[in-house]
Structure 1
């Protein structure tokens, strides 16, 4: 009994092991520990990838609105076209348009100008002979006038007949911005007249479907009917 007490006295007290909050990281040695750090890690075993793109499920009561088709800047669209038959007397009509993004193109084509026809006797080399003649009526004309609707100031005027020449097809370019009064007048002619403008800045009515309009390049419209 004395020997056992002596042995305990020599050995002393053994301290208990300290508590630890770390966990094993090496399966080979369960007694190996490492401190846990925040932020995660990436050893480079996974390649970077793009998330799979899924089709959005349409919620009942809502609709997907497609973005409007953008018209290139150099394109112009036909916003007005009309045929006229002015054969017996002088006529005139007018349209208003607020041109915010010039230019505007007005083109016309006269399909059946009124002709004066007949016969006359001429003398050639001392001999008389009858020849036929045909020319545009001196009363036939088409006149397109662009003016200020308030002051009446004329910005541009062109057409067929009078002092404008005998071109039955022509494109008139309007570069004056602002509110315009466009008058179309004529006599003894059957013209077709069209107005073209850039949709950006000029066609602002949401009820107008721009993609349904006829749109062409400006170079095409300048050469139209020529």
Structure 2
């Protein structure tokens, strides 16, 4: 026999047990379909505030030597406590950049990676194989005008303390590091052409 009273009791018990449910520790937040806030992209630091832009040191021009690429073996990065004072990608050709920096707590470490402009040409030549007929061959190589240089000078005397680069009179390694281990008031100069260069500068303290 059907008993409505029993059904009512069961419904009351179900609703009571549902009302006693507790939120998990810390609770939760209903998004309501809204998108989560956008994260701040981890990228370049266009103006860290540590370097002071100054007029580049006058330098003489030199002959351009056609470079060929070589890359050092990959190394595993290690953690450090240095302060980042500059972190930018520069697209050359661009005016020479120069910065004054008072290095109170050495060292000063400048790392950079060069991506030279690549030139592609079509060469019509005879094949060395098969019926030795003439064919079009695609050749890709770095621009003869691609180069980059980091020059660190003593601010007062103009004496070069350290320098390194890619192309011209330097090697064709695309990744290098410049190290200055003595305190001083320095002028850091970045120059180049036909290349995209990522430059990272760090110091022992500021």
What's the TM-score once normalised by structure 1's chain length? 0.50
RMSD over equivalenced CA pairs, Å: 2.0
Does the 8 Å CA contact 2:162/2:179 hold for their aligned counterparts?
A: no
After the TM superposition, which residues 187-202 of structure 1 pair with which residues of structure 2 at under 5 Å, given as runs? 187-199=193-205
Does the 8 Å CA contact 2:89/2:198 hold for their aligned counterparts?
A: yes
Partner in structure 1 of residue 90 of structure 2: 84
1:106 aligns with 2:110: yes
Once the two structures are superposed, residues 31-53 of structure 1 have per-residue CA deviations (whole angstroms, 9 ceiling, x without a partner) of xxxxxxxxxxxxxxxxxxxxxxx
Q: Distance in 2 between matches of 1:176 and 1:124?
A: 58
Partner in structure 2 of residue 125 of structure 1: 128
Where 1:84 maps in the other structure, the secondary structure is: strand
1:166 aligns with 2:172: yes
Once the two structures are superposed, residues 136-173 of structure 1 have per-residue CA deviations (whole angstroms, 9 ceiling, x without a partner) of 11111111000122222111111122122222222221
Partner in structure 1 of residue 146 of structure 2: 140
Does the 8 Å CA contact 1:107/1:172 hold for their aligned counterparts?
A: yes
Once the two structures are superposed, residues 164-214 of structure 1 have per-residue CA deviations (whole angstroms, 9 ceiling, x without a partner) of 222222222122431110000111112121111112xxx1xxxxxxxxxxx
Q: Distance in 1 between matches of 2:121 and 2:106?
A: 46
Bigger radius of gyration: 1
- Please list every run of 5 or more consecutive structure 2 residues that lacks an aligned counterpart in the other structure: 1-79
- Please list every run of 5 or more consecutive structure 1 residues that lacks an aligned counterpart in the other structure: 1-73, 204-226
Once the two structures are superposed, residues 101-160 of structure 1 have per-residue CA deviations (whole angstroms, 9 ceiling, x without a partner) of 3221101123x4211111113345383432111111111111100012222211111112
Partner in structure 2 of residue 186 of structure 1: 192
- Matched length: 124
Q: Distance in 1 between matches of 2:144 and 2:161?
A: 26
1:157 aligns with 2:160: no
Q: Distance in 2 between matches of 1:100 and 1:129?
A: 62
Partner in structure 1 of residue 100 of structure 2: 96
Partner in structure 1 of residue 69 of structure 2: none
Q: Which has the larger strand fraction?
A: 2
Where 2:106 maps in the other structure, the secondary structure is: coil
Partner in structure 2 of residue 224 of structure 1: none
Does the 8 Å CA contact 1:155/1:176 hold for their aligned counterparts?
A: no
After the TM superposition, which residues 213-224 of structure 1 pair with which residues of structure 2 at under 5 Å, given as runs? none
